[in-house]
A and B are shown apart, each in its own frame.
Chain A
Amino acid sequence: MLELKNISVHYGRIQAISDMSFSVEEGEIVSLIGANGAGKTTTMRTISGLLSPSAGSITFAGKDITRMKAHIRVVRGISQAPEGRGIFPGMTVMENLDMGSYGRKDRTKVGDDLERVFDLFPRLKERIKQLGGTMSGGEQQMLAIGRALMSNPKLLLLDEPSMGLAPQFIRQIFKIVTEINNQGTTVLLVEQNANQALARAHRAFVLETGSITHRGTGKELLANPAVKEAYLGVG
């Protein structure tokens, strides 16, 4: 459903992504792992349209979206929970969730999606009046994912959802990712927590300095000794 062809991205003179190609099929969880600065976030931002590639093309659901504005991509069904969560600190939890459905035309279904989010994250329902900025790290992460779901995306981009979370939350987040996927949303997941990310993914890519060096199913990569050494740590 999503396909990147020969994408390159530059920050000024610095090339962050070079000639990268991969695709995500409908219904999959695809994980992207790699060291710091490998270009994972850059890839995500390129897909969501915050960055524009200097070369290559992106197609989504059969349409070329390479030059499409970011806010239109949201309407088309790409939704991102950004790195660092991007909660609107001065808005309440409810308003933050509302922002998720900003671009939606099918207003009537918004209620259903809200229910679904509250089902996934009961904590959010308890706190609908709290300002986003005063939520703790884990709660903000829930809010960010919940908000992304509010646009009823076809493709959900999650950039390091486990960052800064306590262990039991991390497990919860990964469970939820699977759950969301089971409900029919395609997920592209960027993670440092490579073990979890690979274990949950249908397919995965390893990114090194802006290009993909390994690809395969999650299980394959988990077993790959090179990947193991570089990203999974010994023991």
Chain B
Amino acid sequence: MSTTDGPTLIPDDAAAQAIADREARMRPRRGWFPGLGDRWNALPRQTQWLILIVVVVIAYLLPILNPPLITTEPGNNWQIALAQMSVYALVAVGLNVVVGYAGLLDLGYVAFFALGSYTAAMLTSPDSPYVHIPYLWTLPLAMAVAMFFGVVLGVPTLRLRGDYLAIVTLGFGEIVRILATIIPAMKGQVGFQNVGHPPGTDSSGQTIFQNSNGTPWYWLTLTIIIVVLLAAGNLERSRVGRAWIAIREDEDAAEIMGVPTFKYKVWAFAIGASVGGLSGALFAGQVGFVNNQKFDIATSILFVAAVVMGGTGNKVGALLGGSLVAYIPLRFTAIAEFKYLIFGAALVIIMIFRPGGLLPARQSLLAYGRLAYNKLKGFAVGGSPASGKLVTQPGKEAGNE
């Protein structure tokens, strides 16, 4: 904890770990797509946009394409699978703010997901005696409710470090789930049926957003994901994102550099929670049924696995990780006995071969940094600096003119 060379206390876990992690990340990237992130960042803006548009179009077409081999059928309906994958992806993007950016290990993220689901269910399901509001209204409301609880949980506990926070959040997740069992109004395992859905019918008078039709749900979630990604990008390339990364890298140093660390940790928690709530509400709508069974620790841990597997701190990685975590068991439903065995093995293998996650690319943290860096192109580009004598070379010192 001591910030200088004097007597050091027991080395602070977080700081020590930050150093270890940093060293870990220094290793050259090996594996299937080395330096993908670097290469992506090197592309001109226009090309990036072009590629992005193509990717987005393909993403929207997925339910129609139903690509062979990839498809989850015959075990699971592909459109429904897509809808669930997209919800998981959204969850992972939200959790990435907490775990990936701010470096807070939240093992109870499922609690916010649950809060969102229950908000949607209790305000739209005919099983609930309370006021009913249109489903779409429950989305912002779910975000608000989850955010509120995020702050309520965060304020007292965010002073805890590392794994203490992990167990507290995990406990919170369990508390929410069990209270949903105990409190009669939340109907425990009995749950809520016929959760609402967005309005609209197709030409034949059929409801568009049916539980059994994944496509519209997928499109809705995908659109929301795109909006959330843009928002996350905006945050990332701003003071907020920098504060989060600074906290993750070295909390004490961040604080001393004038970053209100506590405030930004609460923000991370609140923003993460609200996305969790949002995804919960979407999930509730899509499945059409909410009870307490979905929100257990195992699910919560899967969420974290999604983020880490995708590439901690990278929102696109989170997206990928979230989809995969949902996908693997769905894909292998046909061999029911093995699906989780495959899943576990996949986790191990992926992490061993890509310890930084599938897409470990670093995000840029400056909104207009590209400009500044481009100006530097005249100087050294890429690679790492020659060691040693740079410092000792005379004449380069600004101070000396």
Contact = CB atoms under 8 A, between A and B. Distances in A.
Interface in B371-392: 384, 386-389, 391-392
B387 to A, nearest CB: 4
Contacts of B384: 13-14
Contacts of B27: 12
A116 to B, nearest CB: 26
Interface string B21-57: 0000011100000000000000000000000000000
B7 interface: yes
A134 B1 CA distance: 12
Contact of B7 (A11, A38, A39, A135): A135
Contacts, number: 54
A102 B234 CA distance: 54
- The binding surface of chain A is classed by DSSP as loop
A90 interface: yes
B5 A38 contact: no
A48 interface: no
B205 interface: no
Contacts of B388: 34-39, 208-210
A16 interface: yes
Given A11-B26, A35-B392, A133-B10, A209 B5 contact: no
A172 B387 CA distance: 32
B387 A38 contact: yes
Interface residues of A, number: 26
Contacts of A135: 7
Q: Is the interface of B mostly helix, strand, loop or mixed?
A: loop
A205 to B, nearest CB: 14
B5 A36 contact: no
Nearest to A139: B7
A12 B9 contact: no
A118 to B, nearest CB: 21
A42 to B, nearest CB: 9
B6 A16 contact: no
A133 B7 contact: yes
Contact of B11 (A89, A134, A136, A208): A89
Contacts of A35: 388-389, 391-392
B8 interface: yes
Nearest to B26: A12
Interface centre among A12, A90, A140 (most CB of B within 10 A): A12
B9 A136 contact: no
A139 B5 CA distance: 12
A64 B20 CA distance: 31
Contact of B386 (A36, A164, A209): A209
Interface string A2-46: 000000000111101000000000000000001111110000000
B6 A137 contact: yes
21 contacts: A13-B384, A14-B384, A34-B388, A35-B391, A35-B392, A36-B388, A37-B387, A37-B391, A39-B388, A87-B8, A89-B9, A133-B7, A135-B7, A136-B6, A137-B5, A137-B6, A163-B5, A164-B5, A208-B389, A209-B386, A210-B387
For the complex of A and B, the 6 pairs showing the least CB-CB separation, nearest first, are A209-B388, A12-B28, A37-B387, A38-B388, A164-B5, A37-B388
